[in-house]
Structures are given as structure tokens and as C-alpha cells.
Amino acid sequence: MNILPQAAEPLDAGSTAEIYSPYHHFSADEWAKFRADTPLTLKADEIARLRSLDDPIDIDEVRRIYLSLSRLLSTHVEASQLLYQQRNRFLSLSDVTKTPFIIGIAGSVAVGKSTTARILKELLARWPSSPKVDLITTDGFLYPNAVLQRDNLMDRKGFPESYDIGAILRFLSAIKAGEPNVRAPRYSHLTYDVLPNEHTLVDRPDILIFEGINVLQSRALPADGKIVPIVSDFFDFSIYIDADEDQIHNWYVQRFMRLRETAFRDPTSFFKKYAAIDATAAQAVAEGLWENINLRNLRQNILPTRPRADLILRKGRNHFIEKVSLRKL
């Protein structure tokens, strides 16, 4: 069923790039109309609990952006289930384990991926069909700090080479195969490291949200034509959270300075040394981390994956969505 009306005219209808764009583009107000009669199942206090530090998302933003997104995803899930059933009939398969619907969420550090993932998880789990929805982030699939230090990769933490891609592919393959109690490694943002021997069990969800900065990464194609899987091969739908580089920079530095007053003061925090220096020195540290690590990762690895997403949520000031781009079918 096609739930979307005729696409709005591109912002610059005369632009060749817009005419041949693979996306329909909508303003936030245009997008909000697609929610139709989708009920708002989250309360203001629940949204406040789900949002990340310095992310001002509120009930109006959920109503304006996320209800339409929830409705769109419901049609994709239903279509995927129907296709799965039809494929099984075609192949004369009678006893087949269900295949979870996997949603990938990508975007820069500090852009608000975690808030989007948590809001979506709660909305999807409250559909009338009450699907089982799980959320896993890629942080646990980072190599432990000891390995990164050994390989001189601590300054490239978050870059593609700092992740155990094999472990990610094995995890997603097991999820898609419908295996029970698949283990996902856990990560502590306090200690800034993978938690040894700690795992989250993912037991045959209807929907899995898989969130991380580089989940839409591709890789070089093999010259011999052999199958080389990539993470996004397992996604049924993908979302990229986008914003101007300067705005993400501001959000990153603001968050660092807020954490300096809160989590960094914990004696077990990896970053506790930054709570002991003055504000000017801390600001300089935040700027250095942004310039030398996070900005480089954004430009080299994360932003180039944006065109691979099915949906792009473009943020403006204060983290509110200003534009939505949906890939054409």
C-alpha cells in the first residue's frame, strides 16, 4: 500500500541534481502530515527519559517526525513479512524460522543517533501487534582498549578499523538466521572500554535496531568475485542522521563540557582527568578531540555513507529535524 502522496517539489526544481535525485525531499511540516491517524503512545516524561544529554527532543518533535516514520516502517515490516511468506511458498518451505526486520541507524558522533534509536524502539514496540524490538549499538564491537593500544589505534577509535567487523557480521548473520540468545558484547562509556565477559542476549526479536557511526560502511569489491558481506547487507531499512558539520562540532563540544561537570567526575571514569582542569583547558581538549579524531572520521568515513541510506533525517539548530529525504522505490 502506498501511503505517501505526490512528493513535494524539490527546493530547487531547476537543479539537475535534484531532478535526478534518488530521494523524495520533504520539509518537516510536510513530513508530519504523513502520520495520518498514527497514535502517540509516548508520554512527555518517557521522552525526557529516552533522550540523550543536551538533546531537546520533546513530544511535539516526536509527533511531528517520529509518528510518520513509525507509520512508514510499519508498512515496510508488513511488506517484508508478506514477501518472506510468498518466498517460502515459492520454495515449498514449510518449517522456517522467522527472519527479524533489521533497521540500521548511522551518523556522526554527537548528532543524536542514540536518542533516535531509543525513541524508535519504544514507538515500534507499542504497535498494535506488540512486536518484540531490541536495540544494539556497535560500541560493544569495538576492539578492547588493550588491543587498540597495542596496534596504535587509540587515536582512531571509532574509525572502521577499530571495530571487530567479523564479530559484527557473525552477530547479524545469527540474528537473520533466527538463532536464539545471540550474544552482543557490552560497552561502558564510563570506562571507555568493552566490558570483558559481559553480553546482552538478543533472543529472536521481530525488529532489531542496530545503531552506530559506521554501520553503512562499504568495502572494496573482491577481484575474484567471491561473496564479501558488509554490515548493511543485513539491513531491511537504513536511516542516516545528518546535520551541518559546524553544528555537530558545537554539539560535541557542548556535550564534552557538560560531561566534565557530571560523568567525568566519577572516579572510575576514563575521562576523570578532564574534570580536574579548568574550563579553558577542557575546551581546548574538546576542540582537539573533535578536530583530530571525530571530524576526520566524519569526513573520511561517515559522511560518504549518507547516500546509502533509505532515509535521511536532516537536523537544524537545537537538534530539531528540518528536512526528511526518503529514497524513491
- Binding positions for ATP: 107-114
CB proximity list for 109: less than 8 A, separation 6 or greater: 158, 213, 248, 252, 294, 297, 298
The full DSSP string for 18-84 is HHT-SEEEEEHHHHHGGGTT------HHHHHHHSPTT----HHHIIIIIHHHHHHHHHHHHHHHHHH
Cell 554527537: give the residue. Answer: 110
Binding-site residue set? 107-114
Q: What is the 3-state secondary structure (H, E, C) of 85-99?
A: HHHHHHCCCCCCCCC
> Does residue 144 sit in helix, strand or coil?
coil
Please state whether 108 falls in left (phi above 0), alpha (psi between -120 and 50) or beta: beta
> What cell numbers appear for 182 in the block?
545471540
For 210: left if phi > 0, alpha if psi spans -120 to 50, otherwise beta; the answer is beta
Angular region, 188: left φ>0, alpha ψ -120 to 50, beta rest: beta
Helix (H, G, I), strand (E, B) or coil at 268: coil
Cβ pair 109, 46 in contact under 8 A: no
Cβ atoms of 25 and 325 within 8 Å: the answer is: yes
At residue 245's C-alpha, the angle toward residues 148 and 263, to 5°, is: 55
